[in-house]
Amino acid sequence: MDIAKIQILLQEAELDGWLFTDFQGHDFITKEFLELGNRFCTRRMFYLIPTQGEPVKVLSAIEPHLLDHLLGEKMLYHGIEGQKKVLSELLKPGMKIACQYSPGGNVPTISSMDAGLIEYLRTYGIEPVTSADLMQHFGAVLTEHQIETHRQAGVIIHKILTDTFSWIREKIDEGTYIDEYAMLQKMQELIRQENIYMDSPPFFGVDEHACDPGYEPKENGSKQIREGSRLIIDIAGRLPEEDAVYYDVSWCMNVGEKIEPEYKKWFQIVYDAREDARQFIQARLDEGETVRGYEVDRRLKERFEQLGCAQYLMHRTGHNIGHRCHGIGANLDDYETHDDRCLLPGTMFSIEPGLYTDKYGVRLEYDVHITSEGETKVYGPVQDEILVI
């Protein structure tokens, strides 16, 4: 843990400290951030990183060695009254303390402190402040090596897609019956041949099944893939190594060159929206201004409202990407939550607007990295027209 870096960030945010706490493993952020591993507290513990000075470990006298792997002064308490006495020495009225909570529950990924604990902390006269943006610096800001793992995963992902499309064309030309489930089996075979990890199989649907963004092919009820079929695929994976970063894309295809004009229309609407989102982010960065996740999502929603198609929205515009496909950083979201976190340099996120009518489903996704120089970059092919299989 880089205490010096944390304290610089606390100073920049004009905060007095950052507080971590846990009880019986309930706080998943504390467990990961403090690298507790198999350590398990049966009494409430606290770890306070002040803006200046040495961190403080507040522990029950029954569990004095719980945080011995961390820097800091140790303060032991006996019972709840002892705990209150120690905390009153550390948490002074008027202090602004970063905590793992989100006002109004707007950012669930950061809300690991329960409401009762926040109430308890407020009795000391402090002002709990969300640590949402602080946390992005430790897990969402990517290294050059992590970006390289993302690139490498992308090469593998697109090879799997290319091989899948070749298989579809081959089977149709042979006159062999294939459906969504057969395609899933083929993709899983191709995935097993590659050095890639996926926490879930690819999501895809044919024709009307593409209108359900959460559709998963089953052995029974799968649609046949034939000449003229429309296909949407969402596929994500990373290298099977520590700190490797996901590559997550969604593409839209058509089997054969005869593409329905209505399909082309919806594709173009979604494509233009995706490019507008990226251009909006880049313009803000060029002006040296902050851009927050919800602003991007809200912009596209307003764009779709002007076009008269916002009723076909079913999800947010994008999500943070890291070692987990849905990372801990800011999402492009004002639809499912209100994510007011900043899009920080060094972070990566998907831009994946989608519209789903009764007949047509279109989602176009690529991953955008904001470099330290404030440039938005995509490391992989960018789909700009319906791919013909």
The answer on 378 and 265 residing in a single domain is yes
Q: Extract the tokens encoding 34.
A: 């403090």
Say whether pLDDT at 131 is over 90. Answer: yes
Q: What's the pLDDT at 109?
A: 87
Q: Can you tell me the mean pLDDT for 6-21?
A: 96
pLDDT at 86: 96
Residues 201 and 79 in one domain: no
Sign of CA dihedral 269, 275, 278, 284: negative
Are 300 and 277 contacting, i.e. CB atoms less than 8 angstroms apart? yes
Q: Are 7 and 76 in the same domain? A: yes
Statement to judge: residues 269 and 300 lie in one domain: yes
Q: What is the CATH number of the domain that holds 349?
A: 3.90.230.10
List of residues 6+ apart from 351 with CB closer than 8 A:
274, 277, 278, 296, 317, 318, 332, 365, 366, 368
pLDDT given at position 40: 86
- Look at residue 234 in the predicted model and tell me its pLDDT: 97
Banded model confidence at residue 25, pLDDT cuts 50, 70, 90: confident
Which of these, 257, 237, 247, 274, lies nearest to 362 by C-alpha position? Answer: 274
71-106 confidence digits (pLDDT tens):
999 999 999 999 999 999 999 999 999 999 999 888
Task: Describe the strand order of the beta sheet including 56-60 as a list of residue ranges.
Answer: 73-77, 56-60, 45-50, 17-22, 96-99, 127-130
CA neighbor of 63 nearest in space, from 43, 47, 81, 79 = 43
Tokens 């298989």 belong to residue: 167
Closest CA to 161 of 376, 323, 389: 389
Task: Single out the residue in 98, 118, 137 at which a domain terminates.
Answer: 137
The 3-state DSSP class for residue 233 equals strand
Give pLDDT, residue 63. 93
What pLDDT does 139 receive? 85
User: Distance between CA atoms of 289 and 14, rounded to whole angstroms?
Assistant: 19
Residue 58 has pLDDT above 90, yes or no: yes
Domain tally for the chain? 2
Domain final position from 112, 137, 162: 137
pLDDT in tens, 240-264: 998 999 999 999 999 999 999 999 9
List, as one string, the DSSP characters of 235-285: EEEB-SSTT---EEEEEEEESSS---HHHHHHHHHHHHHHHHHHHHHHHHH
* Contacting residues for 326 by C-beta, under 8 A, at least 6 apart: 319, 320
Cα distance between residue 318 and residue 301, in whole Å: 13
Residues 41, 22 contacting (CB under 8 angstroms): yes
| pLDDT cut 90: percent of the chain above it | 90
Of 110, 117, 134, the residue nearest 23 (C-alpha):
117
Across 125-147, average pLDDT: 94
Do residues 306 and 166 both lie within one domain? yes
pLDDT value of position 340: 93
CATH number at residue 10: 3.40.350.10
For the chain, the C-alpha Rg in angstroms (whole number) is 24
Whether 36 and 182 map to the same domain: the answer is no
According to DSSP, residue 292 is labeled B
Q: Give me the pLDDT at residue 214, please.
A: 86
Q: Domain limits at 379? A: 144-388
- How high does pLDDT run on average in the chain? 95
Give ∠ CA 285-345-336 in degrees, rounded to 5.
85
| Predicted pLDDT of residue 251 | 97
Are residues 249 and 103 located together in one domain of the fold? no
Q: Residue 231 has what pLDDT?
A: 96
Sequence-distant (≥ 6) Cβ neighbours of residue 65 within 8 angstroms: none
**Residue 201 banded pLDDT, cuts 50, 70, 90:** very high
Digit-coded pLDDT (tens) for 344-363: 999 999 999 999 999 999 99
Tens-place pLDDT, residues 284-311: 999 999 999 999 999 999 999 999 999 9
Beta strands at 96-99 and 127-130: parallel, antiparallel or unpaired: parallel
Of 137, 163, 189, the domain-final residue: 137
Domain co-membership, 127 together with 148: no
Q: Stretch 15-33: mean pLDDT, rounded?
A: 92
Q: Please indicate, yes or no, whether residues 187 and 321 belong to a single structural domain of this protein.
A: yes
**DSSP codes of every residue in 311-343:** GG--S-SB-B-SSSSS-SS--B-SSSS----B-
Domain identity same for 133 and 226: no
What pLDDT does 104 receive?
Answer: 87
Report CA dihedral (67, 125, 89, 48) to the nearest 10 degrees: 20
179 and 230 inside one domain: yes
Question: What is the percent of the chain where pLDDT is above 70?
Answer: 100
Question: Are 245 and 149 in contact, with CB atoms under 8 Å apart?
Answer: yes
Q: What is the rounded end-to-end Cα distance, in angstroms, of the chain?
A: 49
Distances (CA, A) of 187 to 149, 165, 235, 237, 366: 21, 10, 10, 13, 20
Output the pLDDT for position 39. Answer: 84
